[in-house]
Amino acid sequence: MAGDAQARVIDYGSMSRERVRTTHALVLRRRDVNDADRVLTVLTPGDGKLELIAKGVRKTASRKAGHLELFVHAALLVAQGRTWDIITEVQTIESFRHLRDNLEAIAVASYICELIDAFAETGDDLRSLWDLALFTLRVLDEAAAQGEPPPNLLPWFDLHLLSLTGFQPQFFRCLVCEQPLAPTVNFLALHEGGVLCPQCAPQRNDVEALDVDTLKLLRFFQSQPWPAVAAVTVRTPVLRRVESVLNRYLVITLERHVRSALFLRRLAATANSSDL
């Protein structure tokens, strides 16, 4: 009997340890529940996307609130709960404070987190997605400390996110004949996620012409690391065409508009009108 009692004590200790865990998390989204609580959608490196509850965080005296703002990278202690697991302790690792003082940078960070939220899955090991999200926010924060967000950042982020999540568009070979695409006018088939060569496109009525410069830039953003992309100055008309291709492809892939992209376009339109 004594042996059985000791075994039960050890087992309960093991259960207790399993009910509490630590994790790093990036806050993607949040919503208020009850009178003082908040449910957070976070990205973690090992468990993918999670929904966690921060109890009492909306109270004035809460010491957790500042550590659980949007875009914050935090270390969490999480306890198992019934509906949502509960954040019991939190410490900020990276606040990305510079981007919070720049409206355009805030909009770009919102876009990054909205797309990560849209593509991330619960329960997956998403270390590559985690690394991409943090790296992009770090670049954005550093740029915001010095001025404007880098113009090439979001197209580069879009293409690398699509590659990591299995939705990479094909920009190097024809979707039909699979031959390498020549440096000439080719044809974009957005719903199929790629490009057709001039020989295969005439049989189709659902494609659009894609000029040499736009295709070249899409390839470059897709295949190169950020330092190489950051060093390149792109003509604004070409960059806008690249952004149009990617925005429309994301709408097709997600089957909805990206809300943050609409806000970014309104910001850009406002900035352009003020320059006139």
Compute the distance between CA of residue 259 and CA of residue 114 in angstroms, rounded to an integer. Answer: 8
Residue that the structure tokens 């044809």 belong to: 187
In sequence order, the 6+-apart residues with CB closer than 8 A to the CB of 12 are none
Please give the CATH number for the structural domain made up of 21-149: 2.40.50.140
pTM for the full predicted model: 0.89
Compute the distance between CA of residue 181 and CA of residue 45 in angstroms, rounded to an integer. Answer: 37
Task: Give me the pLDDT at residue 120, please.
Answer: 92
In sequence order, the 6+-apart residues with CB closer than 8 A to the CB of 177 are 197, 199, 200
CA quadruple 113, 119, 122, 123: dihedral positive or negative? negative
Q: Are 138 and 97 in contact (CB under 8 A)?
A: no
> What spatial distance separates the first Cα and last Cα of the chain, rounded to whole Å?
87
The domain spans of the chain are 21-149, 153-259
Task: Give me the pLDDT at residue 18, please.
Answer: 55
Compute the distance between CA of residue 266 and CA of residue 38 in angstroms, rounded to an integer. Answer: 29
Task: Give me the pLDDT at residue 10, please.
Answer: 34
Residue that the structure tokens 């991330």 belong to: 120
Q: Tens-of-pLDDT digits for all 276 residues of the chain?
A: 444 444 333 333 443 445 899 999 999 999 999 999 999 999 999 889 999 999 999 998 888 999 999 999 999 999 998 889 999 999 999 999 999 999 999 999 999 999 999 999 877 778 999 999 999 999 999 999 998 899 999 999 999 999 999 999 999 999 999 999 999 999 999 999 999 999 999 988 899 999 999 999 999 999 999 999 999 999 999 999 999 999 999 999 999 999 999 888 888 877 665 554
